[in-house]
Amino acid sequence: MNYSDLSVWAFLMILAVLLFSLLLGNVLRRFVPALKKTLIPASVIGGLLLLIISTITYYCTDNYFFDYNVFGGNGADGKLGGMAVLELITYHCLGIGFVASGMRTSKKKFDKKRAGEVFDSGLTTVNGYLIQAFFGLAVTLVAAGLIHTDGLISAAGILLAFGFGQGTGQAMNFGNTFEDYGFEGGGNFGLTIAALGFLVACIVGVIYINVMRRKGRIKIDDSQRANCLADYEDANEIAVVSSMDKFTVQVGIVLAVYAVSFGIMYGLSKLIPSLATTLFGFNFFIGVLLTIPVKALLNKLYEKKYIDRQIVNNFMMDRIGGFAFDLMIVAGVAAIRIPLLASYWGVLLILAVVGALVTVFYVNFVCKRRFPEYRHEQFLAFFGMLTGTASTGMILLREIDGAYRTPASENLVFQNVPAMVFGFPLMFLANYAPKSDLSALITCIIVGVAFVVLNIALFRSRIFKRRKPISIATTDTDSGQTSDEIVAESASSDGSLGSEE
């Protein structure tokens, strides 16, 4: 091997440029007042800078910036080109980030009211995906049927739910899958929707904060939650530095789980070849599912005293996940090929506007009724997540709840469990939708029906209110309570998981 060969340095040079653009984006965000006020994440700013450079380079030299030999070339010689490496980074960082998040341990127990709010948060998240998918499909069904845009398929609109609702990784995964059904530039279409989603999250979020502040309904919270030792490690954890660094252990666990998830996907794809594309598109979900038995095994080893110190560190797992998601976003935005989207810009802009409007309306409607005690905090958290990522939701939330005094931040974290339970089966529809115009229409109808059903579940306590029984004021000799008091207690409990406003 010749270490002076550019191919030896290609991958490291791509990583160096991506991370440098992240640093530059953070510097610009801190020192350019206009950017600071928009609350656009540094990863998005860094990705947009690389996208601008790459697009200018293409129109000047007919090569994208990452197609030069120092980044691996354009793939013409059969090797993996630089732009393809960006897509691989986006794909794998999605899975690694989810595995790291899934490996976090939680000892927190909720009372009935908080459990109901977490359950409702998961339903709200899934309903957000569904309403985005429904209106996205409606737009592209009309566009493909009436406008006849070259290369556009009727099912393209479902990418609105992945781009806005789940970010660059999933949008690219399904966009690339759609290319097998004739959707030219599907991966780039999904990445562009995700990039537009980040801009919508920040722009609309800032407007909402300013409007509500002028009306006196919210106040900007500059306070920060004080950190303590418990934020960095729990009792009885392994040493930070011993024969192996603690951070090395955390990275090893995450990559080992992700490697096993690959083995599961590979094995199943050999047994059922027709599901290979679908299985590998759900790399993040299979990785998260695998963390459940891994954590259960570790807990059993702790109980049996085979392991006397806790191995997993939540703080470091958060850092691994944060790094993976930052890298995923900057690589995903930089991987967009603007020239491939020339004929789609009208549809993309319509999808972005429609997605922003329906998400604002629905999230505000839900937060006003299901989370009245902290509706504005929960709105910003949900809206940021349903147009960008969970990190975007946290960025918006910190503007008015910097010390996390409300449960909004917890709802954002713990909603993942009910959201996956209800949302995962519906994600298989994304593989059915692009098969034909009819399948796209059927998918749109199914999504609409599922949205109605899950909203009935979300507003169950309002829809299925119990009538107060008429009672005569008598005294219970055992409890000392009057029957009216017993009825009042019974009426205050609606028998559901959610709290009534």
The two tokens of residue 337 are 């090929």
Confidence of residue 101 (pLDDT cuts 50, 70, 90): confident
Tens digit of pLDDT for each residue in 23-39? 999 999 899 988 888 88
Q: In angstroms, rounded to a whole number, what is the distance separating the alpha carbons of residues 431 and 445? A: 15
Q: Which two tokens stand for residue 81?
A: 């080109």
- Please give the pLDDT value at position 229: 58
pLDDT at 499: 38
In whole angstroms, what is the distance from residue 301 CA to residue 421 CA?
A: 28
- Six token digits for residue 294: 């891994």
What would the mean pLDDT of 263-281 be, rounded to a whole number? 87
Instruction: Name the pLDDT band for 157 (thresholds 50, 70, 90).
Output: very high
Which band of pLDDT confidence, cut at 50, 70 and 90, is reported for residue 489?
Answer: very low
Return the closest-CA partner of residue 24 out of 54, 10, 45: 45
Q: Please count the other Cβ atoms lying within 10 Å of the Cβ belonging to residue 89.
A: 23
Please determine, for residue 469, whether its predicted confidence score (pLDDT) is greater than 60.
no
Tokens at 2, concatenated: 């010749």
> pLDDT tens, 450-466?
999 999 999 998 888 76
pLDDT for 497 equals 38
Nearest to 91 by CA among 309, 211, 314, 262: 262
Residue type for position 456:
I
Is the pLDDT score of 501 beyond 50? no
Q: How far is CA 267 from the centre of its chain?
A: 27
Express each pLDDT in 400-416 by its tens digit: 887 778 888 888 878 87
Give the per-residue pLDDT at 357.
96
Model confidence at 492, pLDDT cuts 50, 70, 90, reads very low
Question: What 3-state DSSP class applies to 340?
Answer: helix
One-letter identity of residue 149: T
Give CB contacts under 8 A, 24+ apart, made by 350-354.
350/139, 350/143, 351/136, 351/139, 351/140, 351/157, 351/160, 351/193, 351/196, 352/193, 352/196, 352/197, 352/200, 354/135, 354/136, 354/139, 354/160
What's the whole-number average pLDDT of the chain?
A: 85
Instruction: With beta carbons less than 8 A apart as the criterion, state whether 194 and 167 touch.
Output: yes
Angle at 409 between CA 501 and CA 120, to 5 degrees: 40
Residues 162 and 90 sit within 8 Å (Cβ to Cβ): no
Average pLDDT over residues 9-32: 94
Q: What is the pTM of this model?
A: 0.80
* Range with lowest mean pLDDT among 11-20, 376-385, 389-398: 389-398
Share of the chain above pLDDT 70, in %: 89
CA 182, distance to chain mean position in Å, is 27
First to last CA, the chain: 68
Distance (Å, whole) CA 347 – CA 154: 11
Among candidate residues 209, 217, 212, the one with its CA nearest the CA of residue 396: 209
∠ CA 463-469-475, rounded to 5°: 140
* CB proximity list for 492: less than 8 A, separation 6 or greater: none
Phi, psi torsion values for 406, nearest 5 degrees? -95, 165
Alpha helices in 32-111 (DSSP H): 33-38, 42-61, 82-102
Beta bridge partners of 310: 237
Q: What is the pLDDT of residues 438-453, one digit of tens each?
A: 999 999 999 999 999 9
Domain boundaries, the chain: 6-226+330-458, 235-312, 465-501
Angle at 390 between CA 386 and CA 396, to 5 degrees: 85
Structure tokens at 431: 């593989």
Where is pLDDT greater, at 263 or 40?
263
Q: What is the pLDDT of residue 234?
A: 74
Asked if pLDDT for residue 468 goes beyond 80, the answer is no
Asked whether residue 490 carries a pLDDT value surpassing 50, the answer given is no
User: Distances from the Cα of 62 to the Cαs of 54, 68, 215, 339, in angstroms?
Assistant: 10, 11, 51, 11
pLDDT at 361: 97
496 pLDDT band (50/70/90 cuts)? very low
208 contacts 380 by C-beta, under 8 angstroms: yes
Torsion, Cα of 60, 64, 68, 74 (10° steps)? -130
Residue 420's alpha-carbon distances to 122, 381, 424, in angstroms, are 8, 18, 5
For 104, counting Cβ atoms within 10 Å of its Cβ (0-12 exposed, 13-18 middle, 19+ buried), the class is middle
Backbone torsions φ then ψ of 356, nearest 5 degrees: -65, -45
